[in-house]
Structure 1
Amino acid sequence: MTQDLPHFGMYIDGRNVPAESGEWFETFNPFNGQPWALVAKGSAADVDKAVEAAHRALTAGEWAEMTATKRGALMRRLGDLIAENSQSLSDIEVRDNGKLLAEINGQISYIPQWYYYYGGLADKIEGAVLPIDKPDSFVFLRQEPIGVVAAITPWNSPLFLTTWKLAPALAAGCTVVIKPSEHTSVSVLKLCELIEKAGFPKGVVNVVTGFGNEVGEPLVSHEKVAKIAFTGGEAGGVAVHSAAARSMKSVTLELGGKSPNIIFDDADLEEAVKGAISGIFAASGQTCIAGSRLLVQASIYDRILKRLVEFAGQAKLGDPMELSTQVGPVTTQQQYARVLDYIGIAKDEGAKCALGGGPSTDTDLKDGWFVQPTIFSNVTNTMRIAREEVFGPVLSVIPFETEDDAIRIANDSPYGLAAGVWTSDVRRMLKMSQKLQAGTIWINTYRAGSFMVPFGGVKRSGMGRENGQDAIREFMQTKSVWISTAAETPNPFVMR
């Protein structure tokens, strides 16, 4: 009986609470397709309670009066607690989204660094005294928190991508209402236990759980939300941006990608193949930065394709909790169906399936949402499989002749989140880094990231930056202060 499953309420104003409606929804384990927990099914009433709590904490009380140095100390304490509890958090996340334990372990063990980094930055936010052309005037700038932040996060890396928003927002002095994906809410709720234990005042961090139309929409449109930080698909990002524009809210959007991973014939080809495999089959292709378009110089195309098929064909599908597993399930049943639909579309368009091309045939995995690592050759950049984000373990291999040809194909996309380049030519490295239209360029590596390095997209891949010092500025606003030192105002009817 599903009612016997563990129940996880929302976290509002420092308390775990059920939904106002008393309703719950199931969250599923992608490995076996079975529900494993019940999560509170929120509504606009729950959103209003959470935002009001965040607004109270922002404007009055302990958090509002707290020094930046004290905020930083709380954040570093939170980082320590996450490090101490990383294994239990990893286990929950694997059960909820099906990512490999080996990858989730690495992510969650790394998360504390965000809280240490931004905790250190919290009291390094400086204003400025401005030189001014007006006589008898003293002008300075204040950097202040932007306000209540709505953080809307996806299902592929729940804690990791929540941290990208939460850490700089807290360092800036904001308060936050998190809306996690309805598919992967539990690990974020467990994080709140650590936030409370770290000593954060109530209302500073809140979590409302539920579905986009019932929770996400009222959160985005709430009059007391000043900033929306969103990671998700393009359609969701467009809806968020449109709603935010109606109420003049600030937004950071990290959206989809169709990233080119480019192999030149002077590259270390074995390392390039590993980079191509990592770029698309790690995390079962469920990353916004997936190198789903592999551009290969024509002179080495057949050789690379053969090696890719050999390498990916040996990948072990299985239980994501087993450290030997290399490819886990797709996180949701809807996404599983979507990936299979795109495989069918690619075949109909004339792409040649060189590997995979369907659900796993392993009977031990029949209850889970497993898609075989799939490689298509005979792909042109006009095909849907090369232009639309699949978000699954599906690779399109496209030939090119020259540098300029590679640049043209790579940039012929509505997206611009990331790109990879494999070459031993330093001149080419610099040219490609300049010419490729993407927020991140990896050269002779792929899927590398750090709390120190800004991340974000261009074109339809989003706006704003997460990580690095750029991120904290996304949660601040500048206030200009004028002080007159004049003994008298010469003419009150004339602008000074």
Structure 2
Amino acid sequence: MADKIFEYAPAPESRAVVSIRPEYGLFIDGEFTEPTDARITTVNPADEEELATVSVADEADVDRAITAARRAFETVWGPMAPAERGKYLFRISRIIQERARELAVLESLDNGKPIKETRDVDIPLVAAHFFYYAGWADKLAHAGLGPSPRPLGVAAQVIPWNFPLLMLAWKIAPALAAGNTVVLKPAETTPLTALLFAEICQEAELPPGVVNILTGAGGTGRALVAHPGSDKVAFTGSTEVGREIARAVAGTDKRVTLELGGKGANIVYDDAAIDQAVEGIVTGIFFNQGHVCCAGSRLLVQESVAEEVLERLKARVSRLRLGDPLDKNTDIGAINSAAQLARVRELAQVGEEEGNERWSPACELPDRGFWFAPTVFTGVTQANRVAREEIFGPVLSVLTFRTPEEAVEKANNTPYGLSAGVWTEKGSRMLWTANRLRAGVVWSNTFNKFDPASPFGGYKESGYGREGGRHGLEAYLNG
């Protein structure tokens, strides 16, 4: 039996649970509008199948949505008893749980990520965030943000395509719990779960205007951020766009939080549990195809164990399964878009041109869709672009170090400051390292672990402000 290889049988998740309309309008003041003439087509990254067309909101649409949100804030949501607001959030959380399978399948179709990630990670966390902040709605005076914290008003929110529904929950749940109303723009390539969330708001009988969803591209986002009627801007995305937003709101009274890019270091000491560390390395960079701002895209391994770690890492990566995102066996799905695939390919090519050794497992890529094999670069120095620039794909750069001081110096040698991981059996070494790492989040013998009660965010070019936990309320309250 030892010489026999057992192949995985296909285990596809049914698409029948999802009903996708051929076209969608905007969600303003509790109702869907008629589709506009300006539209964007969203496609399935795994096979380039057209899924639906969505409207592109213009400045007039943004103004209508902001007006609706302001009216709802002043007449309904703001004056509402906090405990009653909490009931709506609890109701939304329950509906998300009831429709979890539908949401998971739709997220995989529109985003390209494996169904086991949307099913087991994304959607449960979405429901958990609404449940967590529902509990805060009538306890804001005990959040440590002042004795009588007040909502800001209308929040303009722009989210990315890597965790479409989870980023929506990170933004909307604390804003509503604090008593604000929102106008949210999802990413142009992944709008469908946000539009399904609008239906959930209707099902929960959320008062009209409390949540508004505007689809569109960069122009829609810029119009939303620049609109004078909002009191708060929240953005998750690239550092370049974050800078643009910071310039746009400079000189105004708007509160701003920015969660931007990263180039996280994953440090493995020589006393680490190697197999456990390898699992953490794989999770750190290949989860969600590397489309994670806090990905552990720079692996720093102590020289004495570097060869062993790399050998075991390659063996583990060789067992990852790439393919149909709706197959429950799939570990690595499709890159989200043609543009992002071109970016990943470009930087991988740069890595080879700069003399880094490139390795990928034997991996057959599908004929259609946007695919990139998991890739590991060795022989990398801190001057190489693959070690300095955020690739936002399944590409790992491996560097080595000799001493803890060198590990910290290399880990901090980046303009970003979002996340890091440390692998060691010694608690003292863990704490020594974590205290010296210039990162907003440091994981200990794990990676990419999230909880609604735990704050998340970075500094330097990774942005400012925190989301999650009690800290996530602060950005939506006047203390």
Q: TM-score, normalised on structure 2?
A: 0.93
Contact residue 381 and residue 399 of structure 2 kept, 8 A: yes
| Largest Rg, 1 or 2 | 1
| Match of residue 347, structure 1, among 344, 348, 352 | 352
1:204 aligns with 2:210: yes
Contact residue 295 and residue 397 of structure 1 kept, 8 A: yes
The percent of aligned pairs where both chains have the same amino acid is 41
1:190 aligns with 2:205: no
CA shift at 1:366, angstroms?
Answer: 1.3
Q: Secondary structure at the match of 2:148?
A: strand
Q: Secondary structure at the match of 1:415?
A: coil
| Match of residue 228, structure 1, among 219, 224, 233 | 233
Contact residue 293 and residue 398 of structure 1 kept, 8 A: yes
- Tell me, in whole angstroms, the C-alpha distance in 2 between the residues paired with 1:64 and 1:371: 47
Q: Secondary structure at the match of 2:449?
A: coil
Counterpart amino acid of residue 175 in structure 2: A
Equivalent position of 2:134 in the other structure: 119
CA shift at 1:211, angstroms?
Answer: 0.8
Equivalent position of 1:84 in the other structure: 98
1:327–1:128 distance in 2 versus 1, CA, 3 Å: closer
CA shift at 1:128, angstroms?
Answer: 11
Contact residue 125 and residue 452 of structure 2 kept, 8 A: no
- Tell me, in whole angstroms, the C-alpha distance in 1 between the residues paired with 2:298 and 2:460: 17
CA shift at 1:369, angstroms?
Answer: 0.7
Counterpart amino acid of residue 309 in structure 1: K
- Tell me, in whole angstroms, the C-alpha distance in 2 between the residues paired with 1:256 and 1:86: 29
Instruction: Note the 1:7-86 alignment, pairs <5 A.
Output: 7-19=23-35, 21-60=36-75, 62-86=76-100
Equivalent position of 1:320 in the other structure: 325
Structure 1, 182-191 or 140-149: larger mean CA deviation: 140-149
Q: Secondary structure at the match of 1:398?
A: strand
Q: Secondary structure at the match of 1:335?
A: helix
CA offsets 1:286-332 (integer angstroms, 9 cap, x no match): 10111000000011111111111111122111000001011111001
CA shift at 1:463, angstroms?
Answer: 0.3
Equivalent position of 2:444 in the other structure: 443
- Tell me, in whole angstroms, the C-alpha distance in 1 between the residues paired with 2:419 and 2:214: 31
1:175 aligns with 2:181: yes
- Tell me, in whole angstroms, the C-alpha distance in 2 between the residues paired with 1:366 and 1:228: 41
Q: Secondary structure at the match of 2:231?
A: strand
Equivalent position of 2:4 in the other structure: none
Q: Secondary structure at the match of 1:112?
A: helix
Equivalent position of 1:134 in the other structure: none
Instruction: Note the 1:327-342 alignment, pairs <5 A.
Output: 327-342=332-347
Counterpart amino acid of residue 117 in structure 1: Y
| Match of residue 144, structure 1, among 147, 150, 166 | 150
1:286 aligns with 2:300: no
CA shift at 1:350, angstroms?
Answer: 1.0
- Tell me, in whole angstroms, the C-alpha distance in 1 between the residues paired with 2:217 and 2:360: 36
CA offsets 1:370-410 (integer angstroms, 9 cap, x no match): 10100000000111110000000000000100000000000
CA shift at 1:173, angstroms?
Answer: 0.4
CA offsets 1:152-195 (integer angstroms, 9 cap, x no match): 00001111011011000000000000000000001001111111
Structure 1, 452-461 or 110-119: larger mean CA deviation: 110-119
- Give the aligned length: 458
| Match of residue 222, structure 2, among 214, 217, 222 | 217
Equivalent position of 2:256 in the other structure: 251
CA offsets 1:9-31 (integer angstroms, 9 cap, x no match): 11000110135x42222001000
CA shift at 1:5, angstroms?
Answer: 6.8
Contact residue 420 and residue 442 of structure 2 kept, 8 A: yes
- Tell me, in whole angstroms, the C-alpha distance in 2 between the residues paired with 1:65 and 1:301: 60
Counterpart amino acid of residue 312 in structure 1: V
Counterpart amino acid of residue 374 in structure 1: T
Contact residue 158 and residue 235 of structure 2 kept, 8 A: yes
1:296 aligns with 2:301: yes
Contact residue 127 and residue 143 of structure 1 kept, 8 A: no
Q: Secondary structure at the match of 2:368?
A: coil
Contact residue 77 and residue 180 of structure 2 kept, 8 A: no
Structure 1, 375-384 or 301-310: larger mean CA deviation: 301-310
Q: Secondary structure at the match of 1:224?
A: coil
Contact residue 351 and residue 377 of structure 1 kept, 8 A: yes
Equivalent position of 1:390 in the other structure: 391
Instruction: Note the 1:431-470 alignment, pairs <5 A.
Output: 431-470=432-471
Equivalent position of 2:246 in the other structure: 241
CA shift at 1:248, angstroms?
Answer: 3.1
- Tell me, in whole angstroms, the C-alpha distance in 2 between the residues paired with 1:472 and 1:141: 14
Contact residue 128 and residue 142 of structure 1 kept, 8 A: no
Q: Secondary structure at the match of 2:250?
A: helix
Q: Secondary structure at the match of 1:432?
A: helix
Contact residue 221 and residue 247 of structure 1 kept, 8 A: no
Contact residue 78 and residue 180 of structure 2 kept, 8 A: no
CA shift at 1:116, angstroms?
Answer: 1.6
CA RMSD of aligned residues (A): 1.6
Counterpart amino acid of residue 465 in structure 1: R
Q: Secondary structure at the match of 1:460?
A: helix
| Match of residue 160, structure 1, among 161, 166, 185 | 166
- Tell me, in whole angstroms, the C-alpha distance in 2 between the residues paired with 1:334 and 1:96: 15
CA offsets 1:75-111 (integer angstroms, 9 cap, x no match): 1011101100111111111110001100001210232
Q: TM-score, normalised on structure 1?
A: 0.90
- Tell me, in whole angstroms, the C-alpha distance in 1 between the residues paired with 2:423 and 2:132: 31
- Where structure 2 has 5 or more consecutive residues not aligned to the other structure, the ranges are 1-19
Equivalent position of 2:6 in the other structure: none
Counterpart amino acid of residue 262 in structure 2: G
Counterpart amino acid of residue 99 in structure 1: K
Equivalent position of 1:6 in the other structure: 22
Q: Secondary structure at the match of 1:385?
A: helix
CA shift at 1:51, angstroms?
Answer: 0.6
Instruction: Note the 1:349-388 alignment, pairs <5 A.
Output: 349-355=354-360, 361-362=364-365, 365-388=366-389
Q: Secondary structure at the match of 1:412?
A: coil
- Where structure 1 has 5 or more consecutive residues not aligned to the other structure, the ranges are 130-139, 479-496
CA shift at 1:8, angstroms?
Answer: 1.5
| Structure 1 or 2: more strand by fraction | 1
- Tell me, in whole angstroms, the C-alpha distance in 2 between the residues paired with 1:368 and 1:69: 47
Contact residue 356 and residue 375 of structure 1 kept, 8 A: no
Contact residue 381 and residue 409 of structure 1 kept, 8 A: yes
Equivalent position of 2:417 in the other structure: 416
Q: Secondary structure at the match of 1:18?
A: coil
